[in-house]
Structure 1
Amino acid sequence: MSMLVVFLSLWGISLGPVTEAATFFETQPLLWAESESLLEPSAEVTLTCQARLGTVDFQLFKNGVVQETVHLDAPAIKHQFLLTGDTRGRYRCRSGLSESWTQLSELLELTGPTAPPPPVLRLDRESTQVLRPGSKVTFTCVAPLSGVQFQLRRGEKELLVPRSSTSPDRIFFHLNKVALGDGGHYTCRYQLHDNQNGWSGDSEPVELILSNEKLPAPVFTAEPSSPNPEPGTRVRLRCLAPLEGARFALVREDRGGRRVHRFQSPAGTEAHFELRNISVADSANYSCVYVDLEPPFSGSAPSALLELRVDGPPPRPQLRATWSGAVLAGRDAVLRCEGTIPDVTFELLREGEPMAVKTVHTREASANLALIFLGPQHAGSYRCRYRSSWPNTFESELSDPVELLVTES
């Protein structure tokens, strides 16, 4: 058993892809728990705060209150805080920056003994999900603990890839020159300490589709057939294969290549996909493939591309508070902005202020926007929106407002 470490912000956000071209130097420190100190619930716990630049000052917060402030004799890139007693709680750290402090790290919560949570497996932004033999693929496996060993698996097969990580919480798996037999579902897992505690649960699977040119491409059509449908209407996409019992995938061109938009497993030789209430965010090039249900899970050659271009504004998002009533000063407040379009940048804006107070890029269609370490100055009315600069430039309207109240007790 180990002590569970939970990031309150969703992994798809806090550990997700780098946001669109930043023009500033990142100063936010990293905070993680050393896995060796989490093997026993009663053990002392070591938290490491790593700065972006060398500094002599480090500060640890617990539940919104300063827990410990350290001033070193010489600049260092990181400092370790030793926790004893009841270590359960919510932690952040910050480091010295000139004559002030950096922003706080992401939130880290120690919640007591439980089984280690599964990691998250993602395709690298430059990798494609539907690919030809000989291509290169990079996976990223992210765990909530540091100092662990990782393993990548295809189905139940353990792949011979490096297990050690030089990063506190993640590893990159590079598959060079993938072959037809490399298609299928991939997962990753981690172990805490030399197999003594066993493996964590598996991540959610990521599927790779290897196109076998010997399998004829399907026939792909759209209704209406116009490449410029009206906003708010529905487009029906039909994928016809020369065999029965296959699984079909609707594929959309993404920044890094071709990604599966959705799957369907009909009984016959064709699949029907619908894009409902379409908007500018549906503008893309689409194709379809079919996949064998038996090993080696070969995929067909892709169909011809269908181009879809839609004018008009994207759908308006909805902003939800994840709390009720007033929020206690020193706590965090998380507002969830929910849209319908993945792979966009979400912004949180305070009423009366032109600049966003929080910006998050995610591959999901929604994002958690956190206001940390609240004080009376954070009270007010908030709205959210989302935007994109690729493949089409658009910006949604603002959501309805959510009121944030902050109380001292």
Structure 2
Amino acid sequence: MSLLAAVLLLWGPATDAAPSVLKDNTGNKPLPRPWLSVEPVSWITPGLSTFLVCQAPLPDVTFLLKREGDVGFQEVAETDGFLELAAPDGFLETAEARKGDKELATFLVHKPGTYSCSYLIHTSAVPSAPSDTVTIKEYVIPPPPVLTSSGSFTVILLMKVHRTLVCEAPLMDVEFQLRQGEHKLNLPSISTSPEQIKFYLKRSDLGDQSPFTCRYRLHSNTAWSNDSEPVELMWSDETLPAPELTAEPSNQTIEPDSMVQFRCTAPKAGLRFGLHREDPYESILLQTLKTAGNEAVFQLHNVSAEDTADYSCIYVELAPPFSGSAPSEFVELTVDGPPPPPKLQALWTGKVLAGSDVVLRCQSKVPGVIMELLRGGKIVPYRIHRVTSSWSDLGLPLVGPRHTGNYTCRYTSWDPDPFHSEPSNPVELIVEER
């Protein structure tokens, strides 16, 4: 009888509800669960090799890989040798099982689905309880990267003529491309990490000031990814007269969940208008509009305390040399109520193996704030992995069982008035020993 047939006979038909602890038929203690991870990403696409890595806490075991909905095990691999088995009827196409070390098995993923792994020891006839599941998606075209602009200054004076656009892909060692509309831009760039590139943009590169996007591909024989979300920049040389900005309703204090309209009026027609939020250290472009007339109306819906700020607008011409105006006078907007809490997202799935690095993403629409990570109401030291105008990646390096618990985040600001937001939703971190 083959090893796979023996495993199937012992395990029996697949069921939706697997027991959390299994005992072997010799009366030995239950086998500890294995740990399943994915490299480099949890999806497959043409040209990309995606691997599932199963790790057991015991040496010299036989690993078993299963996909939900299939009868029996999809893969079997032994750590004391290389084994590749043909898939029987009803199974997925067999993936390659590659020996890592005495406690690892690496499986090449061919098809999407939700996977788990377990293992057998030679003195037991019953597999361990399955690992936590890992879901693999399939994309015909790779998912988009993220494009951000370094800093948030969007009205650039003549002495500030450079900007940096950062494109980050979900995996490493890819080819990047920056685009404006349908045009590929050949700009100076530098790669600061295998999954990221920085493009250096001069004011003369802005062209008609249409949005920028970026994309990537695995190599020259694969398809380009979907485009990133667009990034809009609006630069002005301030050579034209300033527009006039008014708010409706005109009272400075607004009730939460109201709608506010800003009307920007210029001395000429056929322009591109931009509404900016003025914060202590930056001017953030919120919206742009092209109009045939000489004014643009911008709307802010469901305003909250996070919208409390000074606002201004500018305009630029639609034809070269794309001259622009000085900014309007500020209009102050104050919205009653406390600032809204941020949202916290775990950038991992399932339980985490001790010694791993984990990252939590704290998201807030309030710009220019400092993020804090908390556990049990107390601030937890973290490493900043990445910061944008809307979220920060907060890292916990080399986690151990002591890091297990529920985490929240909040944001703080000291200018113009000090405040703490309410805490975010909790995220649970469970760390298992190797």
TM-score band, normalised by shorter chain: 0.5 to 0.7
Residue 122 of structure 2 corresponds to which residue in structure 1? none
User: Take 2:283 and 2:154, find their aligned partners in 1: how far apart are those partners?
Assistant: 6
Shift of the 63–216 alpha-carbon distance from structure 1 to 2, 3 Å rule, reads farther
Counterparts of 1:247-258 in structure 2 under 5 Å? 247-254=272-279, 257-258=282-283
Report the counterpart of residue 395 of structure 1 in structure 2. 420
Structure with the largest fraction of strand: 1
Match of 2:212 in 1: 186
State whether residues 279 and 368 of structure 2, in contact with CA within 8 Å, keep that contact through their aligned partners in structure 1: no
Structure 2 residue aligned with 1:206: 231
- Superposed displacement of residue 270, structure 1: 2.6
Match of 1:315, SS state, is coil
Q: Report the alpha carbon displacement of residue 328 of structure 1 after superposing the two structures with TM.
A: 5.8
CA contact (8 A) 1:250 1:289 kept: yes
Larger RCO of the pair (alpha carbons < 8 Å, separation 6+): 1
C-alpha change, 1:85 and 1:379, in structure 2 (3 Å) is closer
Kept after mapping to 2: 8 A contact 1:130/1:209: yes
**What is residue 55 of structure 1 aligned with on the other side?**
none
Matching residue within 107, 117, 121 for 1:86: 107
TM-score by length of 1: 0.57
**Which residue in 1 is equivalent to 2:242?**
217
Aligned equivalent of 1:7? none
C-alpha contact 1:350 1:380 (8 A) present in aligned 2: yes
Greater displacement, 161-170 / 330-339: 330-339
* Pair 1:136 & 2:157 matched: no
Question: What are the Cα deviations for residues 7-51 of structure 1, in whole angstroms up to 9, with x where unaligned?
Answer: xxxxxxxxxxxxxxxxxxxxxxxx9859xxx9745x697xxxxxx
Which position in structure 2 is the counterpart of 1:288?
A: 313
Q: Structure 2: which amino acid aligns with 1:124?
A: S
Cα distance in 1 for partners of 2:431, 2:193 equals 39
Number of positions where the alignment pairs a residue of Structure 1 with one of Structure 2: 321
Written as runs of structure 1 = structure 2, the 5 A alignment for 1:8-407 is 40=47, 62=53, 85-88=106-109, 114-125=140-151, 128-132=153-157, 135-162=161-188, 165=191, 167-178=193-204, 181=207, 183-193=209-219, 195-211=220-236, 213=238, 215-222=240-247, 229=253, 232=256, 236-254=261-279, 257-264=282-289, 268-274=293-299, 281-292=306-317, 294=318, 296=320, 298=322, 300-306=324-330, 308=332, 310=334, 314-317=338-341, 329-330=351-352, 340-351=365-376, 353-356=377-380, 362-363=387-388, 365=390, 383-389=408-414, 393-398=418-423, 402=426
Who wins on radius of gyration, i.e. which is larger?
2
| Cα offset, 1:381, TM superposition | 5.8
**Do the aligned partners of 2:312 and 2:327 also contact (CA within 8 Å) in 1?**
yes
Partners of 1:262 and 1:335 in 2: CA distance: 29
Percent identity between the two aligned chains: 37
Q: Displacement, 1:123?
A: 1.1
Q: 1:171 to 1:371 in 2, by over 3 A?
A: closer
Partner AA of 1:272 in structure 2: V
- Partners of 2:58 and 2:199 in 1: CA distance: 38
| Residues 33 and 218 (structure 1), Cα distance of their counterparts in 2 relative to 1, 3 Å cut | same
Q: Deviation at 1:394?
A: 2.5
CA contact (8 A) 2:344 2:409 kept: no
Tell me the SS of whatever aligns to 1:210.
coil
- C-alpha contact 1:358 1:369 (8 A) present in aligned 2: yes
**Residues 123-160 of structure 1: per-residue CA shift (max 9 Å, x gap):** 112x6323345611211121223233323222223323
Structure 1 residue runs without a partner (length 5+): 1-30, 46-60, 69-80, 91-107
- For the 8 Å contact 1:222–1:236, the answer to whether it is kept is yes
CA-to-partner distance for each residue in 1:180-204, whole Å, 9 max, x for gaps? Answer: 73632222233333x2225333322
Q: What TM-score do the two structures reach when normalised by structure 2?
A: 0.55
Cα distance between partner residues in 2 of 1:178 and 1:255? 27
Letter in 2 for 1:218: P
SS in structure 2 at match of 1:208: coil
CA distance in 2, matches of 1:67, 1:297: 69
Task: Return the offset for 1:172.
Answer: 1.6
Structural RMSD (CA): 5.2
Provide closer, same or farther for how the CA distance between residues 338 and 86 of structure 1 changes in structure 2, counting only shifts above 3 A.
same
Preserved contact between residue 405 and residue 428 of structure 2 (Cα < 8 Å)? yes
Q: Which amino acid aligns with 1:154?
A: Q
How far is the alpha carbon of 1:277 from its aligned partner? Answer: 6.9
**Which SS does the other structure have where 1:86 is aligned?**
strand
Counterpart Cα distance in 2 of 1:84 and 1:404: 28
Name the CA distance, whole Å, in 2 between partners of 1:181 and 1:319.
36
